[in-house]
Structure 1
Amino acid sequence: MIESISSATRGGSPRVAFVTCAELPDLDPDDRLAIEPLLRRGITVVPAIWDDKAVDWDGFDLAVLRSPWDYSGRRDEFLAWARTVARLANPAEIVRANTDKRYLGGLAENGVPVVTTTWLAPDQPWESVPARGEYVVKPAISAGSYETGRYDLTDPDHRRLAGEHVARLREAGQTVMIQPYLSAVDRDGETALIFFGGRFSHAIRKGPMLDGPYQGMEGLYRPEQIDPRAPRPEERDVAERVLAAAGRITGTAPGDLLYARVDLIPGPDGAPVLVELELTEPSLFLAHDAGAAERFADAIAARLVGSPA
């Protein structure tokens, strides 16, 4: 169906690549929801696999990163590719900064409430292991909750498995993140706020996903329970602060980003804290808001004519 839509409008209309991976050659179903709105705006959508050498990236008016979710184990290759695509959204420098979760440290230094994180370099052992409490262990470079586990450090088996998880990541040359598990997510879930062209579009609730130690993962991401959500005013405020701080760090305005997703969880005092700022290839959950696909299409169309979304 995607090919017939693209072919029908190819005569001189703008061509936009939706960048994906070999496992999703016809795009993620959610991204396909933007095809018809873009078609009505005279814009052709073409799925394009990021590491397919046959793709002529200069033949597109815009390349939009959507589902290249196999990149985390090949980040250097992915970044080298991104630098060759002149009209990439979001741009290659944003991709470089955002695909290593150490960006959270910079946001924290800029006044953003970020979940407390202990960072271990590959050559740094985990010496100050907490005596109790639940903690999340994950690599600084990953996608779709890959290599992410939850451990109760009062449980001897969990404590051993957490140590083995940290050691495995370090041996692979990864920077390790260790964060307290925010138990409010079990009740309230996670709020993801989606922005197009710097403007708030919609939000969703993600149910809790981490139920224990990491035991491997099938596919590109863990299944998620997603529902529409109206964000609280304090969540909107924190999300705006996150984008403003990211702009100060990167030297960009929020409107320079085609899309952004801010993921928040209530902290110990109930106030929202940042878990992740997704600027590279976030799921946009277009299916969970009636106007989201249209707003995304508007943002892309505005980017093509060089005006604000």
Structure 2
Amino acid sequence: MTASARPRIGIVVTDEYSPEDPDHDTPILLAALRERGALAEPVVWHADETDLGAFDLLVIRSPWDYPVRFDEFHAWLDRAEATTHVLNSPSMVRWNLDKRYLRGLESAGIRVVPTQYCATADEARAALDAHGAERVVVKPVISGGARDTGLFDAHDPRAAALAARIVAGGGVAMIQPEVPELSAGREKALYAIDGHHTHAIAKGALLEHGGSLIGGVYIEHPEPVPTTAAERAFAEAALRAVAELTGEPAPLYARVDTVDSADFGLVALEVELVEPALNLHIAPHVVGMVTDAVLRAAARTSPLRSGL
């Protein structure tokens, strides 16, 4: 690769991570891209002085503080989109930021956990009452890292209090029945790069009954896990539904969170298209696939730069 042909690629990150939840992927991806001749560097998304137009491609990877800077992140997406090529695309990211996209997936035939979306405290109380003595999960439609997410008995005042806090802050609260298999840590995250399945990870249970996180902090314990043909077909169907709903081609990266529930069958818990950790540190065979996909995307976009 000649110097003039070396693409400049920004890996979009933030500037601070919790010790319990570090960004393992970015150093690995940067090293792999540089080894292949790319000019690759981290880009802190909220650093105003960054010249985004100097990059051939920006790849969103770990801006994990965006839920607490949501309007700022939307403005960044606008600025980045106006100056260079961004993956996953800002339009797909905007669609995916609010978990009410799950309603669209359900309408497209993808099974999801039954969910009530509550815009007021009264709606949340009614939804909780409808669950009687069951356990429920309460969370906001815009969140990450299990922020403002809790597992409660439906009649626990703390469930109603969390929902009320979410809506008081201008959000929408999701009320879902507990999925026992999920609480037992049997969730599987299936990953796809350029639309092709690459690997799957189980990260263990996160929520403690009563509203807290297990261990008091957000800590994933990712482990590679095998997948069945049915699980892979389900994840592929979910991504086809995403393409139909957004009108866009396969995303550069995607994570489809699934659990096989005795009550609901195989369901999608989430389709993460914004900033999923790929867990490259425990799936080294995927590094080359991700690197190839990023370089292909940069090669496609470089000829377009003169028109920006």
TM-score calculated relative to the size of structure 1: 0.88
Q: One-letter code of the match for 1:106?
A: G
Mapped to 2, the partners of 1:122 and 1:281 lie a distance apart of: 29
- Native 8 Å contact 1:115 1:267 kept in 2: no
Residue equivalent to 2:306: none
Shift of 1:216: 8.0
Moved more, 187-196 or 199-208: 187-196
CA-to-aligned-CA distance 1:118-172 (integer Å, 9 cap, x gap): 110147532142211111000000011111000023xx6xx11101111111111
CA-to-aligned-CA distance 1:41-62 (integer Å, 9 cap, x gap): 2112211111101100011111
Of all paired residues, the percent bearing the same amino acid is: 35
Residue equivalent to 1:183: 180
- Native 8 Å contact 2:24 2:281 kept in 1: no
Q: State the SS of the aligned residue for 1:288.
A: coil
The counterpart of 1:21, out of the listed 14, 19, 25, is: 14
CA-to-aligned-CA distance 1:216-260 (integer Å, 9 cap, x gap): 8999x8101111011111110110110000100000122xx1101
Indicate yes or no: 2:199 matched with 1:202: yes
Shift of 1:63: 0.6
Residue equivalent to 2:273: 279
- Native 8 Å contact 1:204 1:288 kept in 2: no
Indicate yes or no: 2:230 matched with 1:237: no
TM-score calculated relative to the size of structure 2: 0.88
Mapped to 2, the partners of 1:141 and 1:211 lie a distance apart of: 21
- Native 8 Å contact 1:262 1:274 kept in 2: yes
Q: One-letter code of the match for 2:247?
A: G
Mapped to 2, the partners of 1:291 and 1:163 lie a distance apart of: 45
Indicate yes or no: 2:142 matched with 1:149: no
Shift of 1:270: 7.1
- Native 8 Å contact 1:122 1:174 kept in 2: no
How many residues are paired up? 291
The counterpart of 2:294, out of the listed 297, 300, 307, is: 300
Mapped to 2, the partners of 1:48 and 1:137 lie a distance apart of: 33
Residue equivalent to 1:107: 105
C-alpha distance 59-124 of structure 1, shift in aligned 2 (>3 A): farther
Shift of 1:10: 7.8
**Over aligned residue pairs, what C-alpha RMSD do you find?**
2.4
- Native 8 Å contact 1:21 1:49 kept in 2: yes
Shift of 1:214: 3.2
Shift of 1:36: 2.3
C-alpha distance 123-161 of structure 1, shift in aligned 2 (>3 A): closer
- Native 8 Å contact 2:24 2:280 kept in 1: no
- Native 8 Å contact 1:192 1:264 kept in 2: yes
Q: State the SS of the aligned residue for 2:123.
A: coil
Indicate yes or no: 2:258 matched with 1:261: no
Residue equivalent to 1:222: 218
Q: How does 1:156-171 map to 2 (within 5 A)?
A: 159-171=156-168
Q: State the SS of the aligned residue for 2:142.
A: coil
C-alpha distance 217-18 of structure 1, shift in aligned 2 (>3 A): farther
- Native 8 Å contact 1:79 1:95 kept in 2: no
CA-to-aligned-CA distance 1:72-110 (integer Å, 9 cap, x gap): 122222112112213111111111110100000000000
C-alpha distance 204-235 of structure 1, shift in aligned 2 (>3 A): same
- Native 8 Å contact 1:182 1:266 kept in 2: no
Indicate yes or no: 2:29 matched with 1:66: no
Mapped to 1, the partners of 2:162 and 2:142 lie a distance apart of: 15
C-alpha distance 50-188 of structure 1, shift in aligned 2 (>3 A): closer
Mapped to 2, the partners of 1:148 and 1:222 lie a distance apart of: 11
Q: State the SS of the aligned residue for 1:284.
A: coil
C-alpha distance 291-125 of structure 1, shift in aligned 2 (>3 A): same
Q: Which runs of 5 or more residues in structure 2 are unaligned?
A: 302-308
The counterpart of 2:285, out of the listed 270, 287, 291, is: 291
Residue equivalent to 2:304: none
Structure with the larger helix share: 2
C-alpha distance 235-20 of structure 1, shift in aligned 2 (>3 A): same
Q: How does 1:48-67 map to 2 (within 5 A)?
A: 48-67=43-62
Residue equivalent to 2:305: none
Mapped to 1, the partners of 2:41 and 2:4 lie a distance apart of: 14
Shift of 1:215: 4.3
Q: One-letter code of the match for 1:262?
A: V
